[in-house]
Amino acid sequence: MREPLLKEVFEDTRIKYIFTDFFDTIVHRTVHPNYVLRLWAKYMIRELGLSLSIDHLYFTRYEATHYLVKQRKVNAGEIPYRHLIREIYRRLKNQLKNNLTGTSDDFLEISEACEFRAESNVQFLNNETVETLRHFKSKGLSVYCVSDFYTSEQLIKRLISHHDLEDIFDGVFISSEHGCSKHEATFYNYLINKLSINAEEVMMIGDNHRSDVSNAKKSGLKAFHIPNADQIKKQKKLRFGNDFKDYKSIIRHLYKRGNSKKVSPYSDYVIFFSLFIEKLYSECRKNNIQNLFFLAREGLFFKKLFDYYQDLNALEGGQFVDTHYLKMSRQSSLQISLKPLEEETFSYLKANYANMSIKNFIENFTFSDKDKHDILHSLDSDTESKIEGFFASKAFDELLSNTKFKAVYKKHQIEQKTAFSNYLKSFEVAFEKEGVYLVDIGWGGTMQDELYKFFDKTIPVKGYYLGLKEFRSSINADTARWGLNFEISPYLNYADQIMMANTELYEQLAQAPHGSTLGYQDDASQYTIEYHEPHEKAVYDKYIAQSQDVMFALFQEYCKRTNTICYEPEMAQSIVTKYALKIGTHIPKRKLKWVQSISEGFYSNIGNNAVGEDSYKMSILQGLKNNLPTIKKYLISPEEMVKYIMRSKLSLYKKNRLLYIPTSPIYYYILLNRRLKKIIGKKVYLKYSHFR
């Protein structure tokens, strides 16, 4: 406790009331006061989905305050908070027009919530002052909080409650609510009259010499100065902070933690998942999305991350996105979109799995084992051998005309639609009114397209993906899709090339503990028909589950630390891309061995039902063999090489462990190449013909 203050108060028997400042007296901030306003801007942009930079909104507020001060000829702390926010709203409405929805009252309510979030995230108590005030209270003195501040009294009361200090105060008075201030020496006499007390009965304590001491004494109050030199020095240093360095230090920390030998290899992929979830939440707020459907199986881990992020960042009383887990797969999505046999073209299978056996084709349907057996044994064609150009073969024509197949197919097509329709109804979401918003890992949007077909193209089905590598069908407004970390539309840029490396790892690291959805059954206790391939299950249990635990812990840390940093999406993308390049080129033996182990569980539930490491086979060597001009392309745009590095190293390492080749020099070559391009690109037109 502050003994000199206690002594001074108790020696003067006339003192019955304590007036105390709030900021830098009761609480301190971990950031500069102006930074709190930038945090407010960050939270407002996120909550309202505004297409503005943090600085844009910050300086809009700054100019609105300056305008009202000049217009009313008052101190900034004397402007009613609601008037300030309405002026900000007026300016934004004029600029953003229909992109700023809601009334000025709605804007005010959200603003107050963001002010509270910004302040509460950076405040900590001055315990010595708090203990002293509690002692005064215990001795029967009345304690009032008296502060010059730009927000409402309600906000300060919420902060007091946040710090569990309600029992201390008999009242709270804020300058903006009463149109007078300590700074102008008009607040004290106003409060003396309002409380019907005598000035000599009051001790004012605070850190500001002018407002809390000199002006209090001029008004006849006793005053005690709370020394604050150390905090003032810290505040001055905080003015020289750097958002870029702050954010980069967090990503660097995650990278180091994720690369520690104590955790699973590639736990550093949490960096990419964090960026994705952050962007996804922003999109939900921007588009006023009420229900979000995370697709199996990667969606289960993404849903866990999103739910945590939302719980941490959603404003109290604000809009909340309801999240759902929808069990679908490419195979099950094909079942629900099947047309009558005479209309069905099997376009997806035809485009992606042109060569297969009759047996492989039949395995793409959830027919009973007996029906499969009967169909296969009723055919004259060889059902086991792979057929080149299967869908143009006589064997396929024979199958389509087979009586048993036609009967089983018709029954299956009707049952799948009915079961899936009832499955969707179980979510109790008004799809006809809201449409459907899907979340998945990527890479082309097959399940989105098939779901749109299921709805007979009458309900919009839109998708948010970690990345998009291809468009397998024409895109329209009802089937819009976005790759939030990377995408091929409108064109592949440098960051996209780097971020899309090793998509198989994205998939396996976000895998779920349950099997793949093969189809649907009309059973409310279990609508899905699932199969968990044994190798895949073993890999999840042994490797992936542990890795996800590590990544979730790192994600929690990321969310908490970035909550008080002001950074733009472009800045985050730039920093994360650089670490993606590092992760994609720095591949030690430890990581290669781990990838080799988990590749045994890479299972495709469609087409030829491949199991194992087929998806990791494409390499730089194969690319060179297929395309000699690739050498020139890699020299000019080496970032296009990154997606093949790990696959090439894995292929060589499997053949002979002595063939392990360090690839970290590629990292430095790409950085040098990138820097040279930026320099050259400013001077000549080469970027339009040779590089971006």
* Res 644: pLDDT: 86
- For the segment 601-635, what is each residue's pLDDT rounded down to a tens digit? 655 555 555 555 555 554 555 555 555 456 777 78
Our measurement of the distance from residue 67's CA atom to the centroid of its chain's CA atoms, rounded to an integer in Å, reads 36
**Distance between CA atoms of residues 143 and 136, nearest Å:** 8
Joined together, the tokens standing for residue 691 give 């590089």
* Res 470: pLDDT: 83
Residues of the chain with pLDDT under 50: 618, 628
**Distance between CA atoms of residues 324 and 307, nearest Å:** 10
**Distance between CA atoms of residues 75 and 90, nearest Å:** 21
629 DSSP assignment = T
**Distance between CA atoms of residues 609 and 607, nearest Å:** 6
- Indicate the length of the chain as a whole number: 692
Question: For the whole model, what pTM was predicted?
Answer: 0.90
* Res 608: pLDDT: 52
Burial classification of residue 203, based on how many CB atoms lie within 10 Å of its CB (0-12 exposed, 13-18 middle, 19 or more buried) = buried
- For the segment 304-327, what is each residue's pLDDT rounded down to a tens digit? 999 999 999 999 888 899 999 999
Q: How many CA atoms lie within 13 A of 164 on its CB side?
A: 2
Question: Cβ neighbours of residue 205 under 8 Å, at least 6 residues apart?
Answer: 5, 18, 19, 20, 21, 25, 129, 212, 223, 224, 225, 226
* Residue 502 φ/ψ region, left for φ over 0, alpha for ψ in the -120 to 50 degree band, beta for the rest: left
Cα angle value 507/508/512 (rounded, 5°): 95
Smallest CA-to-CA distance from 634 within 593, 582, 673 is with 673
Largest CA distance in the chain: 110
Smallest CA-to-CA distance from 205 within 151, 130, 150, 149 is with 130
The arrangement of strands across the sheet holding 481-487 comes to 322-326, 291-295, 436-440, 461-468, 481-487
Question: Cβ neighbours of residue 246 under 8 Å, at least 6 residues apart?
Answer: 565, 567
* Res 99: pLDDT: 83
